[in-house]
Chains A and B, each alone.
Chain A
Amino acid sequence: MASIASTGPVLATERASRGIWRDALRRLLRNGPALVGLFFIALFLFLALLAPLLTPYDPVVGTLADRLQPPGSPGHLLGTDLQGRDELARIVYGARLSLVVCVGSVLMGLAMGGTIGAIAGAAGGRTDAVLMRTVDVLLAIPGILLAIGVVTWLGRGLPQIMLAVAATNAPIFARILRGSLLANREQDYVIAARSIGAPRLRVLFRHLLPNSLTSVMVAGTLALATAIIDVAGLGFLGLGPSDPRTAEWGTMLTDSTQYLRQGPFLIFFPGVAIVISAIGFNLLGDGLRESLDPRLKR
């Protein structure tokens, strides 16, 4: 009898070690599409991080004698381009650049948008109105147009590209965070925290922000996908890295259009790389949204 009586509480404490993040992770790992996304991202990270180990070639320097080799040629698995540079090397080093630029731009966007959204949501009143109308103006401009504007204004180069992509994402993050803060502000637990005398900043940082961040996290993951496309888009439009030789997927696409007849595979591989990484982040973002949404708890 005693053992039966004790099972209840024991089970309860076993379950107790699980936090909401672990619950979310468990749900994420049960989500098929999200796993596919994770696999794509893992592949992308693997290429980016291990680039020097995966290929002996320099992505920038080519051998003109070996130009336009088809895929499967000895020594060049994915062939070579017009300057005789190894395509595989350019793809994996391109992954490295994409990773840095995308993660950097999304983090910058989160910092900018998060700050604006947090100030607007916490302050309310006139501050909120001024900040949010500014955000509305930025949102009214198509993202890629805004990014082109920023790059033409600040000049070409990786930091400028990051800032340009961040500028397209920041208004979205600001709006999402502010909305979530406002929704949480009238929640009982926030009023309860205030009713026990918690200081304003403590309420903001400990109660409001952690509960509002999930939606921003999801938006951030999805933004990584658009960032990859935006960066490639800028490269495609000739606003890529300042050194035109840099291995960048978008720039590679533009270059390959000029000799599409001689080397059609040269437009295929960068395209596939962009699609796979963008889809990866998209699927993961959707999976995160589902697993973090308490309404979908199973």
Chain B
Amino acid sequence: MTLLAVDDLVVRFRTRDGTIHAVNGVSFELEEGERLGLVGESGCGKSVTNLAIMRLLPKPAGHLEGGRVVFEGVDLAKVSESDIRDIRGKDIAMIFQDPMTSLNPVLTIGEQMVETIQAHRKVSNSAARARAVELLSMVGIPKPEARLGDFPHQFSGGMRQRVMIAIALALEPKLLIADEPTTALDVTIQAQVLDLLRNLTTEHGTALILITHDLGVVAGMTQRINVMYAGFIVETAATADLFESPSHPYTVGLLHSIPRIDAPPGEELVPIEGRPPDMRHAPAGCPFAPRCAWRLDVCWSENPPLRAIDPTARVVSTGAASTHQVACHNPPTREEREAGRPLGDRYHPAPPPSGALDELSMARVGASAGEPDGAIGETADVWPESSSVSASPSAGGLPIDPTDR
């Protein structure tokens, strides 16, 4: 059964510098007990999407401009403030990135846990404390009774994140949103916290949205991954599918920019050139086009919608068997995916319509000027100079053969 359906979510921030187009029509669904990864770089709208789901966008700048967030049949964007407050914590809970700042420094752990429990359940103080002890031992905190009286600063980072998980799971929510829960932790602690999250969500049948910029974190945790870029979902696929055949140039770029232990010796990492787009401008065309090596002329003018790679397949939008969809006019071929760049002299990246220098062209100009910068030097290797532009595939004809997966 569908637990959460986000439909065409649009979030804008009105700031003095102009309107920030943070989320530009994001749609996805989540089954009960499903674990979904939301991956993208800083500022791509992944955290904002989830704050919008919880209606916790920073005021007064943040606005939910459009779309629906249907949770168990109720549109959260439309319910009253007291109804959403009722849902927060009880049905949907959140874990934040930095456990150092997400606990109130002047209240003890016990007070904060009891508060959470009593916010939604009429239970006595002693019953709430007993539940708190149970929760703390569930997340692996030694001597939970004694530690209830401790203040947050008396806990280490990993322990605080465990406390946060305990608080989030206190009321057995149906959905847990974890916003980069391990980013601020040591690598060894990361694994423990992720294990804990996986075990507890599996045990209680809690659905999980795991927000991260680290593909390594979602790999073992989620059934499905949404890749976000500049406020759009650019690719969605079952986790194994995504790692096996990434189909958006951005996903390919992400996967090629992490070192892999099983990579052939001497293989170079391929960086994604340029910077994320300025979110103050409403995107025209594909938001990734300025950084994309696969771009065509059409990419500058038309933003591709999310489409199934196999046009004949029935679209399944949730679960481990979900359909692989990508928003791209010219997805990389299988060989290119493996190489992490367009191969041979298939084509040049299409120049921007205005003729102005864009991120990629600037990198190439720098390279031809003989700059000794490593990254720029690599760029020149990636796209060998060639003037012959071979026939580009048409925008509609996806060059990926579904059988090659």
Name the interface residues of A1-48: CB closer than 8 Å to any CB of B: 9, 12-13, 15-17, 19-20
A204 within 8 A of B: no
**B105 engages A211 (CB within 8 Å):** yes
In the complex the two chains form, what is the Cα distance from A171 to B107 in whole Å?
29
User: Scoring A residues 163 to 199 as 1 if CB is less than 8 Å from chain B, else 0, what string do you get?
Assistant: 0000000000000000000000011111111111111
Set of chain B residues within 8 Å of A142, measured between Cβ atoms: none
Given A124-B60, A194-B88, verify A206-B115 contact (CB < 8 Å).
yes
B314 within 8 A of A: no
Partner of B106, one of A20, A192, A194, A199: A20
Set of chain B residues within 8 Å of A9, measured between Cβ atoms: 142-143, 146
**A197 engages B105 (CB within 8 Å):** no
Set of chain B residues within 8 Å of A194, measured between Cβ atoms: 56, 88
**A16 engages B101 (CB within 8 Å):** no
Set of chain A residues within 8 Å of B143, measured between Cβ atoms: 9, 12-13
B120 within 8 A of A: yes
Partner of A198, one of B94, B96, B115, B142: B115
Set of chain A residues within 8 Å of B115, measured between Cβ atoms: 193, 196, 198, 202, 206
Chain B nearest Cβ from A2, distance in angstroms = 15
**B167 engages A207 (CB within 8 Å):** no
Minimal Cβ-Cβ distance residue in A for B99: A188
* Stretch of B147-155, B255-263, B352-360 at the chain-chain interface: B147-155
B281 within 8 A of A: no
A210 within 8 A of B: yes
Set of chain B residues within 8 Å of A13, measured between Cβ atoms: 143, 146
Given A124-B59, A124-B60, A206-B107, verify A195-B154 contact (CB < 8 Å).
no
Given A15-B154, A198-B119, A211-B104, verify A188-B96 contact (CB < 8 Å).
yes
A72 within 8 A of B: no
Given A191-B56, A211-B106, verify A197-B154 contact (CB < 8 Å).
no
B103 within 8 A of A: yes
**A20 engages B58 (CB within 8 Å):** no
A56 within 8 A of B: no
Partner of B85, one of A124, A187, A188, A197: A197
**A20 engages B104 (CB within 8 Å):** no
In the complex the two chains form, what is the Cα distance from A207 to B111 in whole Å?
11
Set of chain B residues within 8 Å of A125, measured between Cβ atoms: 60
Set of chain B residues within 8 Å of A207, measured between Cβ atoms: 104, 107
Minimal Cβ-Cβ distance residue in B for A207: B104
Main SS at interface, chain A = helix
In the complex the two chains form, what is the Cα distance from A211 to B103 in whole Å?
12
A294 within 8 A of B: yes
Set of chain A residues within 8 Å of B171, measured between Cβ atoms: 196
Chain B nearest Cβ from A180, distance in angstroms = 13
In the complex the two chains form, what is the Cα distance from A199 to B119 in whole Å?
8
B86 within 8 A of A: yes
Name the interface residues of B152-170: CB closer than 8 Å to any CB of A: 153-154, 164, 167-168, 170
How many residues of chain A get a CB closer than 8 Å to chain B's CBs?
30
Chain B nearest Cβ from A291, distance in angstroms = 15
Chain B nearest Cβ from A171, distance in angstroms = 24
In the complex the two chains form, what is the Cα distance from A19 to B105 in whole Å?
10
Minimal Cβ-Cβ distance residue in B for A19: B151
**A189 engages B88 (CB within 8 Å):** no
Minimal Cβ-Cβ distance residue in B for A209: B106
Set of chain A residues within 8 Å of B124, measured between Cβ atoms: none
User: Scoring B residues 77 to 99 as 1 if CB is less than 8 Å from chain A, else 0, what string do you get?
Assistant: 00000000111111001101110
**A189 engages B104 (CB within 8 Å):** yes
Set of chain B residues within 8 Å of A12, measured between Cβ atoms: 143, 146-147, 150, 154
Given A194-B88, A195-B56, A195-B94, verify A189-B146 contact (CB < 8 Å).
no
**B167 engages A196 (CB within 8 Å):** yes
Given A9-B143, A13-B146, verify A193-B85 contact (CB < 8 Å).
no
In the complex the two chains form, what is the Cα distance from A11 to B153 in whole Å?
15
Name the interface residues of B9-28: CB closer than 8 Å to any CB of A: none
In the complex the two chains form, what is the Cα distance from A19 to B151 in whole Å?
7
Given A20-B153, A188-B101, A191-B96, verify A196-B56 contact (CB < 8 Å).
no
Chain A nearest Cβ from B282, distance in angstroms = 26
Name the interface residues of A202-228: CB closer than 8 Å to any CB of B: 202, 206-207, 210-211
Set of chain A residues within 8 Å of B154, measured between Cβ atoms: 12, 15-16
In the complex the two chains form, what is the Cα distance from A13 to B146 in whole Å?
7
In the complex the two chains form, what is the Cα distance from A195 to B52 in whole Å?
12
Partner of B146, one of A16, A186, A198, A202: A16
**A196 engages B149 (CB within 8 Å):** no
Minimal Cβ-Cβ distance residue in B for A17: B149
**A186 engages B89 (CB within 8 Å):** no
Set of chain A residues within 8 Å of B170, measured between Cβ atoms: 196
Chain B nearest Cβ from A186, distance in angstroms = 6
**B153 engages A192 (CB within 8 Å):** no
**B106 engages A210 (CB within 8 Å):** yes
Chain A nearest Cβ from B128, distance in angstroms = 13
**B120 engages A197 (CB within 8 Å):** yes
Set of chain B residues within 8 Å of A210, measured between Cβ atoms: 104, 106-107
Partner of A197, one of B89, B96, B101, B153: B89
Minimal Cβ-Cβ distance residue in B for A125: B60
Minimal Cβ-Cβ distance residue in A for B96: A188
**B56 engages A189 (CB within 8 Å):** no
B54 within 8 A of A: yes
Given A17-B149, A211-B106, verify A196-B59 contact (CB < 8 Å).
no
Given A13-B143, A15-B154, A197-B87, verify A187-B101 contact (CB < 8 Å).
yes
Set of chain B residues within 8 Å of A189, measured between Cβ atoms: 101-105
In the complex the two chains form, what is the Cα distance from A25 to B226 in whole Å?
50
**B153 engages A196 (CB within 8 Å):** no
B322 within 8 A of A: no
14 contacts between A and B (CB under 8 A): A12-B146, A13-B143, A16-B147, A20-B153, A124-B60, A192-B102, A195-B94, A196-B93, A196-B168, A197-B88, A198-B89, A198-B115, A198-B119, A207-B104
Q: Which residues of A contact B (CB under 8 A)?
A: 9, 12-13, 15-17, 19-20, 124-125, 186-199, 202, 206-207, 210-211, 294
Given contacts A125-B60, A198-B116, 5 further A-B contacts (CB under 8 A): A192-B167, A197-B85, A198-B115, A206-B107, A210-B106
9 A-B pairs with the lowest CB-CB distances in the bound complex, closest first: A196-B89, A197-B89, A197-B88, A188-B102, A195-B94, A188-B101, A189-B104, A16-B150, A192-B102
